């Protein structure tokens, strides 16, 4: 097996940019929610003389200096929180290339060249439970390119065709497996353990199906959806069967730290707590989070 000629970060950065720009129903909640909740990166100067010199009053809020934002002042926003009901979690994978597909995979009907990526067992088992608990409100998907040379990567970046030339197996397809073999873009492939061919969907088909499953006959409460999402993730990962999972242990430890630190600031509400929990979830499980409207 020959590793792809580019790094995982090179692929995923362009994948996410093309997803955000190419589908009007998908958006990244980080910056949008930060703006709504009043996270201000430019207001971190604490010396009162600075604010006196420019004739302004220092912003009022809480200074949280240990999270991904590098330090946050929190103040209220009158804008409504953007509505959402559905969630998409992606994890990009760097594949290896087989000029000749391994024999046990060929026996299942996949001939010629192919690609393959490995699955982290601890991460897989945890995400399976989160996905099951959230049901039809979430899609959890791996993403990996159906190409392996640097020139192919740059060509797809230029043409905006990375999504059309990637595989997107869903978490549930790899339950009990350690590898995913594929020889084309989309969602078809073979999971390795007791190999069996699996038919899957493209990323846009997954998004479209998720939206079609949802009823629009009730009003969306964005704050409630955010709280339910974060609570469900934490509850799913508190499952007794995950007690020896190192990723889960680190995540739940971070949740306790978040809860303890935010308890010191009365002005910080539950949506901020929920967003910080989701930020920790994506960090420890190496996920990219999108919401779908």
For 83-97, how does the pLDDT look when each residue is reduced to its tens digit (9 = 90+)? 677 889 999 999 999
**Number of Cβ atoms within 10 Å of the Cβ of 34:** 17
Helix (H), strand (E) at residue 34: helix 29-37
CA gap 267, 64 in Å, rounded: 13
Beta bridge partners of 144: 167
The domains of the chain are located at: 2-31+79-292
The pLDDT confidence band at residue 250, using thresholds 50, 70 and 90, is very high
pTM here is 0.77
Q: What is the pLDDT of residue 167?
A: 96
CA gap 143, 83 in Å, rounded: 26
Q: Is the pLDDT of residue 246 over 70?
A: yes
Query: What is the percentage of the chain residues whose pLDDT exceeds 90?
Result: 49
pLDDT tens for each residue of 208-217: 888 887 765 5
pLDDT tens for each residue of 253-291: 999 988 887 776 665 678 888 888 998 999 999 999 998
Residue 210 backbone phi and psi in degrees, to 5 = -60, -40
Closest CA to 196 of 101, 96, 107: 107
Q: What is the pLDDT of residue 35?
A: 57
CA gap 169, 191 in Å, rounded: 10
The pLDDT confidence band at residue 237, using thresholds 50, 70 and 90, is very high
Helix (H), strand (E) at residue 117: strand 114-118
Closest CA to 2 of 143, 100, 128, 83: 100
């Amino acid at each position: 097996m020959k590793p792809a000629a580019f790094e995982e970060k090179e692929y995923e950065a362009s994948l996410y940019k093309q997803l955000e720009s190419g589908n009007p129903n998908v958006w990244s909640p980080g910056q949008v929610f930060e703006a709504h909740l009043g996270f201000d990166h430019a207001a971190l100067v604490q010396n009162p003389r600075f604010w006196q010199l420019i004739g302004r009053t220092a912003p009022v809020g809480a200074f949280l200096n240990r999270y991904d934002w590098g330090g946050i002042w929190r103040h209220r926003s009158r804008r409504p929180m953007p509505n959402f009901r559905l969630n998409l979690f992606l994890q990009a994978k760097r594949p290896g290339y087989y000029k000749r597909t391994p024999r046990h995979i060929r026996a299942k009907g996949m001939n010629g060249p192919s690609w393959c990526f490995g699955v982290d067992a601890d991460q897989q088992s945890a995400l399976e439970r989160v996905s099951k608990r959230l049901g039809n409100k979430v899609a959890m998907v791996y993403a990996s390119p159906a190409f392996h040379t640097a020139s192919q990567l740059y060509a797809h970046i230029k043409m905006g065709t990375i999504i059309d030339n990637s595989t997107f197996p869903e978490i549930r397809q790899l339950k009990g497996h350690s590898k995913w073999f594929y020889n084309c873009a989309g969602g078809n492939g073979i999971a390795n353990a007791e190999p069996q061919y699996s038919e899957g969907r493209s990323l846009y088909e997954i998004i479209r199906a998720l939206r079609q499953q949802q009823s629009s006959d009730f009003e969306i409460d964005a704050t409630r959806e955010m709280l339910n999402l974060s609570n469900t993730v934490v509850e799913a990962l508190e499952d007794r069967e995950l007690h020896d999972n190192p990723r889960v242990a680190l995540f739940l430890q971070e949740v306790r730290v978040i809860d303890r630190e935010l308890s010191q600031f009365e002005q910080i509400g539950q949506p901020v707590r929920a967003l910080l929990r989701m930020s920790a979830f994506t960090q420890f499980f190496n996920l990219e989070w999108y919401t779908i409207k």
